[in-house]
């Protein structure tokens, strides 16, 4: 996590410098990751159209990293649709997968079929619940 924050901090500092076209962002990223004892891949989308990628063809397991963009997507959807995190979401018991990691399912079973968006986000982000 510290390395991810370090890379994101680096990018937030360096990206404005590339607006002048003085140096290739790919070269800077390549230089930054070279010599590191890690398997690193970085992709950046600039202005919604230009994509810069270093080791972008490699497969990287997302694991819990995927929770952050999913939470952002949910928050955006809630905001765009005039909802709040306290609004209730209803789901059927068929939507719950018993063959995955789910402390939420373990606690409530399949009988509970409504939760607030906030509760589902908490189960997803804090407990890594795959059903949430």
**84 in active site:** no
| Three-state DSSP state, 92 | coil
d(CA 45, CA 26): 12
Is 79:67 a contact under the CB 8 Å cutoff? no
DSSP for 21-79, written as a single string: TSS-HHHHHHHHHTT-SS---EEEEETTTEEEEESTTS----GGGGHHHHHHHHHHHHH
User: Which residue of the set 9, 24, 43, 64 is catalytic?
Assistant: 64
List the catalytic residues: 64
């Amino acid at each position: 996590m510290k390395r991810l924050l370090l890379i994101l901090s680096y990018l937030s500092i360096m990206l404005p410098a590339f607006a002048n076209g003085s140096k290739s962002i790919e070269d800077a990223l390549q230089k930054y990751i070279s010599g590191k004892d890690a398997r690193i891949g970085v992709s950046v989308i600039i202005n919604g159209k230009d994509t810069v990628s270093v080791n972008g063809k490699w497969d990287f397991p997302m694991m819990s990293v995927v929770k952050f963009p999913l939470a952002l997507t949910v928050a955006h959807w809630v905001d765009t649709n005039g909802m709040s995190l306290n609004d209730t979401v209803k789901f059927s018991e068929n939507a719950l997968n018993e063959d995955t990691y789910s402390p939420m399912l373990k606690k409530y079973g399949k009988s509970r079929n409504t939760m607030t968006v906030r509760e589902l986000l908490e189960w997803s982000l804090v407990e890594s619940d795959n059903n949430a």
